[in-house]
């Protein structure tokens, strides 16, 4: 019985020792892992610090570039402002010249308008006189035609009368068209005279037709 006690005690001690040794090994293993992790983090932080330092240098270089660029742009802006001021002065001078030219042009236009108005008034008077003359001639042609139609039985005389009337009408048509051709197409006077000319020319055509019909009627009667 006395021998069994030391054996049990020895086993117990051995178990305690083994347990402690195992715990120490686990603790050492855990500490080793933690040291490795810490060393890895230190390495990463060191690399990040180096990278940050490099980036800081690059940023500083960029800042210097931007600062130089801003200085250059300020100089450019000053030059542009001076140029704008010069252009503004030139623009003011040109506008003053333009106002002077406009004033002169307006005076010239007024004189031209008055001259054109005087010319149109003179032409209107001439055309009115010509119209009265044409009306008198048309009446004279009609009267002569009626008179000679009644009293002249000679065939040759009637043919001569027809030719004379046709010739006189042709001359007046030519004169009328020539006068109309001298007027500006956009004027109210041109439109008025063109309408009158149309009616006169229509009357000339009616005279021709009446003359022709009368000749045809006389020819049937004579035959």
**Angle formed by the axes of helices 155-181 and 188-222, nearest 10°:** 170
215 close to 145: Cβ distance less than 8 angstroms: no
Domain ranges, residue 216: 120-222
Asked, for residue 56, whether it belongs to a domain, the answer is no
Which of 72-86, 100-114, 146-160 tops mean pLDDT?
72-86
Asked, for residue 21, whether it belongs to a domain, the answer is no
Is pLDDT of 127 > 90? no
Separation in Å, CA 131 to CA 8, 26, 125, 126, 156: 162, 138, 10, 9, 32
Task: Give the model confidence (pLDDT) of 198-221 as tens digits.
Answer: 777 787 778 778 877 877 776 665
- Report residue 65 as tokens: 């570039």
Nearest to 207 by CA among 175, 153, 164: 164
120 close to 187: Cβ distance less than 8 angstroms: yes
Total tally of structural domains belonging to the chain: 1
Asked, for residue 179, whether it belongs to a domain, the answer is yes
The better pLDDT of the pair 90, 136 is held by 90
Long-range contacts of 177-180 (CB under 8 A, 24+ apart): 179/123, 179/126, 179/127, 179/130
Q: How confident is the model at residue 28 (pLDDT cuts 50, 70, 90)?
A: very high
Asked, for residue 111, whether it belongs to a domain, the answer is no
Whose structure tokens read 């108005």?
117
Asked, for residue 124, whether it belongs to a domain, the answer is yes
Is pLDDT of 133 > 50? yes
Is pLDDT of 4 > 60? no
Asked, for residue 54, whether it belongs to a domain, the answer is no
Asked, for residue 102, whether it belongs to a domain, the answer is no
177 close to 198: Cβ distance less than 8 angstroms: no
- Report residue 133 as tokens: 């003359």
Q: What is the pLDDT of residue 1?
A: 46
């Amino acid at each position: 019985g006395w021998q069994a006690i030391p054996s049990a005690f020895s086993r117990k001690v051995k178990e305690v020792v083994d347990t402690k040794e195992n715990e120490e090994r686990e603790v050492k293993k855990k500490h080793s892992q933690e040291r490795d992790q810490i060393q890895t983090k230190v390495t990463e932080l060191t690399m990040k610090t180096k990278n940050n330092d490099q980036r800081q240098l690059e940023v500083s270089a960029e800042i210097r570039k931007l600062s130089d660029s801003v200085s250059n742009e300020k100089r450019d802006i000053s030059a542009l402002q001076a140029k704008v001021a010069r252009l503004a002065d030139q623009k003011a001078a040109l506008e003053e010249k333009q106002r002077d030219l406009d004033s002169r042009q307006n005076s010239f236009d007024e004189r031209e308008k008055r001259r054109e108005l005087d010319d149109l008034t003179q032409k209107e008077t001439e055309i009115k006189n010509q119209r009265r003359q044409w009306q008198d001639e048309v009446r004279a042609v009609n009267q002569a035609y009626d008179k000679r139609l009644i009293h002249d039985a000679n065939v040759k005389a009637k043919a001569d009368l027809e030719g004379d009337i046709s010739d006189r009408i042709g001359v007046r048509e030519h004169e009328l068209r020539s006068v109309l051709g001298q007027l500006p197409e956009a004027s109210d006077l041109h439109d008025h005279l063109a309408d009158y000319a149309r009616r006169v020319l229509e009357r000339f055509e009616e005279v021709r037709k009446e003359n022709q019909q009368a000749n045809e009627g006389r020819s049937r009667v004579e035959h």
